[in-house]
Structure 1
Amino acid sequence: MTDTEPLTSNVRPATDALITIRIIKSFPYRNVKNLIIKDIDLKSSTSQELFDQVVNEINTTGGLRPYRNVQYDSLKIYTKAHGSKSMNLVINFENDEEWVIFKKGDSIGDKSLWDLGIQNETEISIFNWDDYVEYKKNPEEKW
Protein backbone atom coordinates (compact mmCIF):
# COMPACT_ATOMS: atom_id res chain seq x y z
CA MET A 1 0.00 0.00 0.00
CA THR A 2 1.33 3.45 -0.90
CA ASP A 3 0.88 6.65 1.06
CA THR A 4 0.25 8.76 -2.02
CA GLU A 5 -3.22 9.54 -3.24
CA PRO A 6 -4.07 9.73 -6.94
CA LEU A 7 -4.12 13.11 -8.66
CA THR A 8 -7.59 14.62 -8.76
CA SER A 9 -7.35 14.91 -12.53
CA ASN A 10 -6.97 11.13 -12.79
CA VAL A 11 -9.83 10.20 -10.44
CA ARG A 12 -12.68 11.06 -12.83
CA PRO A 13 -13.08 8.93 -15.95
CA ALA A 14 -12.78 10.50 -19.42
CA THR A 15 -16.51 9.90 -19.89
CA ASP A 16 -17.34 12.15 -16.90
CA ALA A 17 -14.76 14.94 -16.99
CA LEU A 18 -14.71 18.52 -15.76
CA ILE A 19 -13.13 21.30 -17.82
CA THR A 20 -12.80 25.05 -17.39
CA ILE A 21 -13.57 27.37 -20.29
CA ARG A 22 -11.86 30.76 -20.19
CA ILE A 23 -14.13 33.18 -22.09
CA ILE A 24 -11.88 35.97 -23.39
CA LYS A 25 -13.67 39.19 -24.27
CA SER A 26 -10.61 41.44 -24.53
CA PHE A 27 -6.94 40.52 -24.59
CA PRO A 28 -5.40 43.94 -23.79
CA TYR A 29 -7.85 44.66 -20.95
CA ARG A 30 -7.68 41.06 -19.65
CA ASN A 31 -11.45 40.58 -19.61
CA VAL A 32 -11.72 36.86 -18.88
CA LYS A 33 -14.55 34.91 -17.27
CA ASN A 34 -14.42 31.23 -16.34
CA LEU A 35 -17.18 28.78 -17.19
CA ILE A 36 -17.06 25.32 -15.61
CA ILE A 37 -18.40 22.46 -17.71
CA LYS A 38 -19.12 19.32 -15.73
CA ASP A 39 -19.95 15.77 -16.78
CA ILE A 40 -18.54 16.04 -20.30
CA ASP A 41 -17.67 12.87 -22.21
CA LEU A 42 -14.26 13.60 -23.72
CA LYS A 43 -14.24 10.44 -25.82
CA SER A 44 -17.46 11.12 -27.72
CA SER A 45 -17.65 14.95 -27.70
CA THR A 46 -15.99 16.86 -30.53
CA SER A 47 -14.42 20.30 -30.37
CA GLN A 48 -17.26 21.58 -32.62
CA GLU A 49 -19.83 20.32 -30.10
CA LEU A 50 -17.90 21.91 -27.22
CA PHE A 51 -17.68 25.19 -29.11
CA ASP A 52 -21.42 25.17 -29.83
CA GLN A 53 -22.20 24.34 -26.18
CA VAL A 54 -20.04 27.20 -24.89
CA VAL A 55 -21.50 29.73 -27.33
CA ASN A 56 -24.99 28.61 -26.28
CA GLU A 57 -24.07 29.09 -22.59
CA ILE A 58 -22.74 32.58 -23.34
CA ASN A 59 -25.94 33.50 -25.20
CA THR A 60 -28.35 32.12 -22.56
CA THR A 61 -26.67 32.73 -19.18
CA GLY A 62 -27.46 36.10 -17.64
CA GLY A 63 -24.10 36.46 -15.91
CA LEU A 64 -22.32 36.16 -19.26
CA ARG A 65 -24.28 38.97 -20.94
CA PRO A 66 -21.21 41.31 -21.17
CA TYR A 67 -19.42 38.60 -23.19
CA ARG A 68 -22.05 38.35 -25.93
CA ASN A 69 -20.70 41.14 -28.14
CA VAL A 70 -17.61 39.16 -29.25
CA GLN A 71 -17.66 36.94 -32.34
CA TYR A 72 -16.03 33.82 -30.89
CA ASP A 73 -14.49 31.47 -33.42
CA SER A 74 -11.62 29.58 -31.76
CA LEU A 75 -10.77 27.24 -28.89
CA LYS A 76 -7.24 26.73 -27.57
CA ILE A 77 -5.86 24.85 -24.59
CA TYR A 78 -4.61 27.28 -21.93
CA THR A 79 -3.17 24.65 -19.61
CA LYS A 80 -3.48 20.96 -18.87
CA ALA A 81 -3.99 19.61 -15.36
CA HIS A 82 -0.80 19.71 -13.30
CA GLY A 83 1.10 21.31 -16.19
CA SER A 84 2.94 24.60 -16.19
CA LYS A 85 0.94 27.74 -16.84
CA SER A 86 1.74 30.49 -19.28
CA MET A 87 3.37 33.69 -18.08
CA ASN A 88 0.62 35.59 -19.90
CA LEU A 89 -2.49 35.80 -17.72
CA VAL A 90 -4.89 35.97 -20.66
CA ILE A 91 -3.84 33.29 -23.14
CA ASN A 92 -1.06 30.84 -23.85
CA PHE A 93 0.95 32.09 -26.86
CA GLU A 94 2.82 28.81 -27.28
CA ASN A 95 1.86 25.61 -29.09
CA ASP A 96 -0.57 27.15 -31.58
CA GLU A 97 -0.11 24.16 -33.90
CA GLU A 98 -0.95 21.50 -31.30
CA TRP A 99 -3.17 23.29 -28.79
CA VAL A 100 -5.67 25.06 -31.06
CA ILE A 101 -8.52 22.57 -30.90
CA PHE A 102 -11.13 24.49 -32.87
CA LYS A 103 -10.97 27.22 -35.47
CA LYS A 104 -13.85 28.11 -37.78
CA GLY A 105 -13.36 26.47 -41.15
CA ASP A 106 -10.74 23.92 -40.01
CA SER A 107 -11.38 20.19 -40.05
CA ILE A 108 -10.10 19.67 -36.48
CA GLY A 109 -13.66 20.23 -35.24
CA ASP A 110 -14.47 16.62 -36.17
CA LYS A 111 -11.99 14.99 -33.75
CA SER A 112 -12.98 13.95 -30.24
CA LEU A 113 -11.71 16.05 -27.36
CA TRP A 114 -9.84 13.01 -26.05
CA ASP A 115 -8.01 12.61 -29.38
CA LEU A 116 -7.04 16.29 -29.22
CA GLY A 117 -5.34 15.79 -25.85
CA ILE A 118 -8.06 17.15 -23.57
CA GLN A 119 -8.13 15.50 -20.16
CA ASN A 120 -10.01 16.07 -16.93
CA GLU A 121 -9.36 19.56 -15.44
CA THR A 122 -7.95 21.04 -18.66
CA GLU A 123 -8.43 24.80 -19.12
CA ILE A 124 -9.52 25.91 -22.59
CA SER A 125 -9.80 29.46 -23.93
CA ILE A 126 -12.56 30.62 -26.29
CA PHE A 127 -11.79 33.78 -28.22
CA ASN A 128 -11.81 35.63 -31.53
CA TRP A 129 -8.87 34.49 -33.70
CA ASP A 130 -8.26 37.87 -35.38
CA ASP A 131 -8.13 39.61 -31.99
CA TYR A 132 -5.65 36.95 -30.80
CA VAL A 133 -3.34 37.43 -33.80
CA GLU A 134 -3.41 41.20 -33.32
CA TYR A 135 -2.68 40.90 -29.59
CA LYS A 136 0.11 38.39 -30.23
CA LYS A 137 1.92 40.93 -32.47
CA ASN A 138 1.95 43.47 -29.63
CA PRO A 139 0.96 41.94 -26.26
CA GLU A 140 0.46 45.26 -24.53
CA GLU A 141 -1.86 45.35 -21.53
CA LYS A 142 -4.14 48.33 -20.97
CA TRP A 143 -5.90 49.41 -17.83
Structure 2
Amino acid sequence: MATYTDFSDIPTNLARPKTSATLTVRVIKSLRYRTERSLVLQNINLETTTVGQLKDISRQAIQTQPGWKPYRNVQLDTLKLYTQAHGAKTTNLIINLDHDEWILADDSTLADAGFENETEVSFFNRDLYEQFKQDPETTW
Protein backbone atom coordinates (compact mmCIF):
# COMPACT_ATOMS: atom_id res chain seq x y z
CA MET A 1 0.00 0.00 0.00
CA ALA A 2 1.36 3.42 -0.98
CA THR A 3 1.83 6.01 1.73
CA TYR A 4 0.69 9.58 1.35
CA THR A 5 2.66 12.47 2.74
CA ASP A 6 0.89 15.77 3.28
CA PHE A 7 3.12 18.58 1.99
CA SER A 8 0.45 21.29 2.27
CA ASP A 9 2.15 22.88 5.29
CA ILE A 10 5.62 22.99 3.74
CA PRO A 11 6.53 26.36 2.18
CA THR A 12 7.29 26.04 -1.54
CA ASN A 13 10.85 27.31 -1.09
CA LEU A 14 11.53 24.29 1.14
CA ALA A 15 9.43 21.74 -0.75
CA ARG A 16 12.26 20.73 -3.10
CA PRO A 17 15.83 19.84 -2.18
CA LYS A 18 18.65 22.26 -2.96
CA THR A 19 19.86 19.74 -5.52
CA SER A 20 16.71 20.10 -7.65
CA ALA A 21 15.39 23.66 -7.46
CA THR A 22 13.16 25.61 -9.82
CA LEU A 23 14.38 29.14 -10.58
CA THR A 24 12.83 32.02 -12.50
CA VAL A 25 15.25 34.17 -14.47
CA ARG A 26 13.71 37.53 -15.40
CA VAL A 27 15.49 38.28 -18.68
CA ILE A 28 15.37 42.06 -19.09
CA LYS A 29 15.66 43.50 -22.57
CA SER A 30 14.83 47.12 -21.69
CA LEU A 31 14.53 48.71 -18.27
CA ARG A 32 13.06 51.92 -19.64
CA TYR A 33 10.29 50.15 -21.58
CA ARG A 34 9.89 47.42 -18.92
CA THR A 35 10.49 44.69 -21.47
CA GLU A 36 11.23 41.39 -19.78
CA ARG A 37 10.39 37.75 -20.15
CA SER A 38 10.61 35.02 -17.56
CA LEU A 39 12.71 31.94 -18.15
CA VAL A 40 11.83 29.07 -15.82
CA LEU A 41 14.69 26.67 -15.16
CA GLN A 42 14.02 23.38 -13.41
CA ASN A 43 16.20 20.84 -11.63
CA ILE A 44 19.04 23.26 -10.88
CA ASN A 45 21.50 22.05 -8.26
CA LEU A 46 22.00 25.09 -6.01
CA GLU A 47 24.90 23.49 -4.17
CA THR A 48 27.13 22.94 -7.22
CA THR A 49 25.93 25.48 -9.82
CA THR A 50 27.75 28.81 -9.76
CA VAL A 51 26.33 32.18 -10.72
CA GLY A 52 28.51 32.15 -13.85
CA GLN A 53 27.14 28.74 -14.82
CA LEU A 54 23.57 29.98 -14.31
CA LYS A 55 24.32 32.85 -16.71
CA ASP A 56 25.61 30.34 -19.28
CA ILE A 57 22.56 28.06 -18.83
CA SER A 58 20.26 31.05 -19.28
CA ARG A 59 22.11 32.36 -22.36
CA GLN A 60 22.02 28.87 -23.92
CA ALA A 61 18.25 28.64 -23.33
CA ILE A 62 17.71 32.08 -24.87
CA GLN A 63 19.75 31.12 -27.94
CA THR A 64 18.08 27.75 -28.49
CA GLN A 65 14.51 27.87 -27.22
CA PRO A 66 11.70 29.15 -29.45
CA GLY A 67 10.20 32.55 -28.72
CA TRP A 68 13.39 34.21 -27.51
CA LYS A 69 14.54 35.77 -30.80
CA PRO A 70 14.01 39.41 -29.64
CA TYR A 71 16.32 38.74 -26.67
CA ARG A 72 19.16 37.06 -28.54
CA ASN A 73 21.01 40.29 -29.35
CA VAL A 74 20.90 41.70 -25.78
CA GLN A 75 24.26 41.69 -24.00
CA LEU A 76 23.25 40.03 -20.73
CA ASP A 77 26.05 40.12 -18.18
CA THR A 78 24.65 40.60 -14.67
CA LEU A 79 22.44 38.63 -12.28
CA LYS A 80 20.72 40.27 -9.32
CA LEU A 81 18.34 38.74 -6.80
CA TYR A 82 14.79 39.95 -7.40
CA THR A 83 12.83 38.01 -4.80
CA GLN A 84 12.63 34.71 -3.00
CA ALA A 85 9.53 32.61 -2.45
CA HIS A 86 7.35 34.16 0.26
CA GLY A 87 9.57 37.24 0.41
CA ALA A 88 8.69 40.88 -0.14
CA LYS A 89 8.78 42.17 -3.70
CA THR A 90 9.97 45.56 -4.83
CA THR A 91 7.51 48.22 -5.93
CA ASN A 92 9.44 48.64 -9.18
CA LEU A 93 7.90 46.25 -11.69
CA ILE A 94 11.03 45.64 -13.75
CA ILE A 95 13.96 45.51 -11.29
CA ASN A 96 14.77 46.40 -7.69
CA LEU A 97 16.99 49.48 -7.82
CA ASP A 98 18.03 49.30 -4.20
CA HIS A 99 20.25 46.62 -2.68
CA ASP A 100 23.17 46.66 -5.10
CA GLU A 101 24.73 44.10 -2.74
CA TRP A 102 22.25 41.63 -4.28
CA ILE A 103 24.25 41.73 -7.54
CA LEU A 104 25.86 38.31 -7.69
CA ALA A 105 29.51 37.38 -8.17
CA ASP A 106 30.18 34.78 -10.87
CA ASP A 107 32.26 32.43 -8.72
CA SER A 108 29.85 31.88 -5.80
CA THR A 109 27.50 28.91 -5.77
CA LEU A 110 23.80 29.63 -5.90
CA ALA A 111 23.31 28.18 -2.40
CA ASP A 112 26.04 30.46 -1.02
CA ALA A 113 24.32 33.42 -2.74
CA GLY A 114 21.13 32.65 -0.82
CA PHE A 115 19.14 30.87 -3.51
CA GLU A 116 16.26 28.58 -2.57
CA ASN A 117 13.59 26.83 -4.59
CA GLU A 118 11.48 29.42 -6.48
CA THR A 119 14.03 32.23 -6.22
CA GLU A 120 13.65 34.91 -8.90
CA VAL A 121 16.67 36.69 -10.34
CA SER A 122 17.00 39.49 -12.86
CA PHE A 123 19.37 38.98 -15.81
CA PHE A 124 20.32 42.23 -17.52
CA ASN A 125 22.99 44.46 -19.04
CA ARG A 126 24.92 46.20 -16.25
CA ASP A 127 25.67 49.38 -18.23
CA LEU A 128 21.97 49.87 -19.05
CA TYR A 129 21.13 49.24 -15.39
CA GLU A 130 23.55 51.94 -14.21
CA GLN A 131 22.08 54.41 -16.74
CA PHE A 132 18.53 53.55 -15.63
CA LYS A 133 19.45 54.11 -11.96
CA GLN A 134 20.48 57.67 -12.83
CA ASP A 135 17.09 58.35 -14.47
CA PRO A 136 14.58 55.62 -13.50
CA GLU A 137 11.76 56.89 -15.68
CA THR A 138 9.81 54.32 -17.65
CA THR A 139 8.19 54.87 -21.03
CA TRP A 140 5.33 53.08 -22.73
Q: TM-score, normalised by structure 2?
A: 0.92
Which residue in the other structure is 1:105 paired with? none
Question: Residue 76 of structure 1 corresponds to which residue in structure 2?
Answer: 80
Relative to its length, the structure with more helix (as a share) is 1
Residue 131 of structure 2 is matched in structure 1 by 134
The equivalent residue for 2:122 is: 125
Equivalent position amino acid for 1:100 in 2: I
Residue 103 of structure 2 corresponds to 100
C-alpha distance in 1 between matches for 2:54 and 2:73: 19
**Which aligned segments of 4 or more residues in structure 1 are displaced greater than 2 angstroms?**
none
Structure 1 residues 1-143: aligned runs within 5 Å: 5-97=9-101, 99-101=102-104, 108-143=105-140
Judge which range, 56-65 or 122-131, deviates more. Answer: 56-65
| Distance of 1:11 and 1:119 partners within structure 2 | 10
Gaps of 5+ in 2: 1-7
Q: Report the Cα distance in structure 1 between the residues aligned to 2:130 and 2:106, rounded to whole angstroms.
A: 20
Which of 4-13 and 38-47 deviates more? 4-13
Counterpart AA for 1:118: F
Q: In the alignment, is the contact (CA less than 8 A) between 2:12 and 2:85 conserved in 1?
A: no
Letter paired with 1:129? R
**What is the CA RMSD across the aligned residues, in angstroms?**
1.0
Tell me by how many angstroms 1:62 deviates: 2.0
Secondary structure class of the residue paired with 2:14: helix
Contact 2:21 2:45 (C-alpha < 8 Å) held by counterparts: yes
TM-score by length of 1: 0.90
